[in-house]
Structure 1
Amino acid sequence: MISPNAFFHVALKVPDVGEAVAFYREHLNGDLIEHEQPNEEATGATAVEHAALMVGDKHLYVFDRAPYEAAGLVDELPYGVLHFGYTVDDVDAAVADLADDVSFVMEPTVFGDLKVAFFEDPAGTRIELLEYVD
């Protein structure tokens, strides 16, 4: 069993990031933190349009494709909820604690300043564990 530090975010895959941002800003008073579009040379995990908003006290990430999907680490995912994320002190230790009990979608991988791993609950809902690394 692990004890996450905090519930951190929900990630969505949408067909139109700008339209989703407008919706969450207009209807839930979301505060836009960033909205980035990939440049022409972007590949893999960086070839993704995404936006980050604060809705209430939580982050909402909106993607045209999940970074781990764009990097080829998982098969193409449908639109909707991609995952929800919890922060932990040590992703590798958390994965070791869970390894016998859960189905992993993606083993620990570093993306920028984050180390992440994904696993599924019994119904197939994806859960991300994330650790900030230097």
Structure 2
Amino acid sequence: MNGLPFLGQHAVRLDHVAIAVKDIDQAIGFYRDVLGMDLVDRKRIAGKKTGMVSAEFSAGQFSIVLVQGTEAESQVSRFIDEYGPGVQHVAIEVDSVVAVADKLRERGMTFETNVIQGPGLTQIFARRDGTSGVMFEFIERTANDGFNEESVRSLFEQLEQSEAC
């Protein structure tokens, strides 16, 4: 794959940016009607305790995913309470999630989730960086079918369990 060298592997591309919003319908209007992006998918995901709704937009070579918590206890709602609406995480597609995660652990990075495997993708979420507030997701795609609901549910439940926001 073409890409930039990244931790001994290749960072293939920016995969997506997740943006936490207070009102997903209002945000959809802005991204679709003002920015002219194509809305490609909407999901409602329930974790063990809380849920979220999402809207995925095509932004050319990457996606923008709007996320809104459905309860005050949702990790997305808690993110907004702590940091305000805005970038919740940045996802970088890599050649090997396991290799990148191992290398990052050697360098002291900790993770909010285990490696999550689903149809067509493997992903892991790092703990939010205290210096910038950014959470990174590393994702490996074997198919480009968007986001599988089972993988998103597993991710959401692991973030709830770790009490990440």
Gap change, CA 1:56 and 1:131, over 3 Å in 2: closer
Q: 2-side partners of 1:95 and 1:60: how far apart? A: 23
- Is residue 2:109 matched to residue 1:103? yes
Q: 1-side partners of 2:22 and 2:50: how far apart? A: 17
Matched residue, 2:62:
58
Q: 1, 6, 19: which one pairs with 2:26?
A: 19
Matched residue, 1:8:
15
Matched residue, 2:160:
none
Matched residue, 1:77:
79
Q: 1-side partners of 2:77 and 2:28: how far apart? A: 25
**Residues 9, 61 of structure 1: 8 Å contact kept:** yes
> How far apart are 1:49 and its partner, in Å?
0.8
- Is residue 2:131 matched to residue 1:127? no
Matched residue, 2:158:
none
> How far apart are 1:37 and its partner, in Å?
3.2
| Other structure's SS at 1:106 match | coil
**Residues 55, 67 of structure 2: 8 Å contact kept:** yes
> How far apart are 1:55 and its partner, in Å?
2.5
Gap change, CA 1:64 and 1:4, over 3 Å in 2: same
Gap change, CA 1:75 and 1:21, over 3 Å in 2: closer
> How far apart are 1:36 and its partner, in Å?
2.4
Structure with higher helix content: 2
| Other structure's SS at 2:11 match | coil
Q: 2-side partners of 1:133 and 1:45: how far apart? A: 30
**Residues 115, 123 of structure 2: 8 Å contact kept:** yes
Gap change, CA 1:52 and 1:76, over 3 Å in 2: same
Gap change, CA 1:133 and 1:3, over 3 Å in 2: closer
Q: 2-side partners of 1:9 and 1:45: how far apart? A: 26
> How far apart are 1:46 and its partner, in Å?
8.7
Q: Provide the aligned length of Structure 1 versus Structure 2.
A: 127
**Residues 98, 115 of structure 2: 8 Å contact kept:** no
Report the TM-score, using the length of structure 1 for normalisation: 0.75
CA deviations over 1:28-48 (Å, ceiling 9, x no partner): 11101012235xxx4349932
**Residues 10, 95 of structure 2: 8 Å contact kept:** no
